[in-house]
Structure 1
Amino acid sequence: MENLLTDRKFWVDYWESKTGLSVNIPANYLFHQQLREIIEKQGVKTAIELGGFPGYYAVFLKKYFKLDVTLLDYFVHTPVTNSLLEANQLKESDIHIVETDLFNYEPERLYDLVLSCGLIEHFNDTADIINRHVNFVKPGGTLFITLPNFKALNGWFQKNFDKENYDKHNIDCMDPELLQKICKEAGLEVLQSRYFGHFSLWLENEKQKPASLRLFKKAVWLAGKLLTKLIPFNSRQLSPYIILEARKI
């Protein structure tokens, strides 16, 4: 499909290259505050994480908020997910797993909270992938999407030192105004669409990179952390993420 910037082989290779996937998810996991506010204010009972293998946010939502949670992805390696559940004192039956292609799947139910973290930027047609999220949201429910901001310094780092990974991302979609416009056109009420986080850098499979690059990355990371600790702010130039929160009217 022309809309895809990745394929199944990419994700199989990606996850097979990873180690230490079965981690204990902490209560202060990334975006925990935003998710807590949504759940408490909206009385969320059901949630689905799209494209979320191995299911870190599904586990987070079940572990700390006791939600009825579903994980949907078109690549799910069950032993990894089960090991993650075990590491977080959960049972296999605690999370519903749907392994399917999102583009050939009609939702069997609707959810109070639909989220994806690092999914929409792997597609060329941003409006299409967001609307596929919207199809899962109950009336009155919440859509919560996060994605990396490769228009920031972190993106420069990716482009120059991990071009293969950079090219798997749709840089044009990393625009809060564009995301807001798409959601409004879909009939959603946009509550926030903004840059998030003061500063961060990362490289995929960093341990496999040359030592000189790892040292350079660490030096830039420390400098950026110091700057944004002294003057904390969110910005297009430095913030590593974008978050979108919208409600289905």
Structure 2
Amino acid sequence: MNTELTDKSFWANYWESKKGLAFKVPVNHTFYKVIRRITGKNKIESAIELGGFPGYYAIFLKNYFGVNASLFDYYIHPQILHEVLAANQLSENDIPAIEGDIFSYSPKKQYDLVLSCGLIEHFTDTRDIISRHVDFVKPGGSLLITLPNFTGVNGWMQRKFDPENYSKHNIDCMDPKLLADHAKALGLKNVRSCYYGKFTIWLENKAQQPSSVKALFKLIWLTGKIFTKIIPIDSKQLSPYIVLTATK
């Protein structure tokens, strides 16, 4: 059985503590280049965002690509969802939302694109949680999984200054080769897995940190930004994300 590193109360507290969630999702939203590549190569008419509350990528797909997109999550806050959709000129009828447990839910349909952004790292059995994604994918459909990279500089920040949040993540799964091996073992094709993105760091509890930590944060952030502007490479130490793509 896959062990969850979080529970429903964790996510309720997490989302209720967040400010500024209701914004218009921009055309250059994170991972837009990956999504554009997938939609350019494949006919994507339907999609579902797993573990994606409040549905930014479902909204992105709906508004910029005309995809019939849905949202699935273990925890959905109706008021926050309504506010986020309204900020994007959408309603609950435009983005169907399903609240459920991915380990007990049987998909009622399959989709051309199944994506999750920051889901699989909250479980201990990585191959199993990826297999749950595959259940939602149509034959010939596409899979996109992204997760944070806590094995480099950003991970050091998390471990040092927010160990509580760090402990909610399965660091062992943050390995592109491991993810690719799992995807291939599950029968997926055209597997591509890599570190992704120019340098950045974040702390969920940054506002509560002392000024000395905020100053260190700013110094590391600025140094990393300058370095990756000069040498723009994706790497284990500096890239903030890992991206896995495949077809079924």
Fold match by TM threshold 0.5: yes
Give, in angstroms, the shift of residue 148 of structure 1. 0.5
Cross-structure match for 1:221: 221
Letter of the 1:50 partner, please give it: L
Cross-structure match for 1:105: 105
Question: What are the residue-to-residue correspondences of 1:63-142 with 2, within 5 Å?
Answer: 63-142=63-142
Cross-structure match for 1:6: 6
| Preserved contact between residue 200 and residue 240 of structure 1 (Cα < 8 Å) | yes
Give, in angstroms, the shift of residue 205 of structure 1. 3.3
Cross-structure match for 1:192: 192
Q: SS of the counterpart of 2:85?
A: helix
Distance 2:134 2:187 in 1: 10
1:125-184 Cα distance to aligned partner (Å, 9 max, x none): 001100000000000000100000100110011000000000000000000000000010
Q: SS of the counterpart of 1:44?
A: coil
Give, in angstroms, the shift of residue 108 of structure 1. 0.2
| Preserved contact between residue 152 and residue 238 of structure 2 (Cα < 8 Å) | yes
Give, in angstroms, the shift of residue 2 of structure 1. 5.9
Cross-structure match for 2:203: 203
Cross-structure match for 2:54: 54
Give, in angstroms, the shift of residue 92 of structure 1. 2.1
Q: Which moved more, 1:118-127 or 1:86-95?
A: 86-95
| Preserved contact between residue 183 and residue 246 of structure 2 (Cα < 8 Å) | yes
Letter of the 1:191 partner, please give it: V
Q: SS of the counterpart of 1:115?
A: strand
Distance 1:126 1:90 in 2: 34
Distance 1:210 1:72 in 2: 37
Give, in angstroms, the shift of residue 56 of structure 1. 0.8
Q: SS of the counterpart of 1:178?
A: helix
Cross-structure match for 2:239: 239
Distance 1:119 1:246 in 2: 17
Give, in angstroms, the shift of residue 228 of structure 1. 0.7
Give, in angstroms, the shift of residue 190 of structure 1. 3.5
User: Residues 113, 2 of structure 1: CA spacing in aligned structure 2 closer, same or farther, 3 A cutoff?
Assistant: closer
| Preserved contact between residue 113 and residue 143 of structure 2 (Cα < 8 Å) | yes
Give, in angstroms, the shift of residue 36 of structure 1. 1.2
Cross-structure match for 2:22: 22
Q: SS of the counterpart of 1:200?
A: coil
Distance 1:108 1:211 in 2: 50
CA RMSD of aligned residues (A): 1.0
> What is the number of equivalent residue pairs in this alignment?
248
User: Residues 19, 89 of structure 1: CA spacing in aligned structure 2 closer, same or farther, 3 A cutoff?
Assistant: same
Listed as ranges, the gaps of 5+ residues in structure 2 are none
Letter of the 1:83 partner, please give it: E
Distance 2:18 2:208 in 1: 11
Cross-structure match for 1:154: 154
Listed as ranges, the gaps of 5+ residues in structure 1 are none
| Preserved contact between residue 162 and residue 205 of structure 2 (Cα < 8 Å) | no
Structure 1 segments of 4+ aligned residues over 4 angstroms from their partners: none
Letter of the 1:133 partner, please give it: H
Letter of the 2:34 partner, please give it: Q
Q: SS of the counterpart of 2:213?
A: helix
Q: SS of the counterpart of 2:93?
A: helix
1:71-127 Cα distance to aligned partner (Å, 9 max, x none): 000100111111111111112210011011111100000000000000000000001
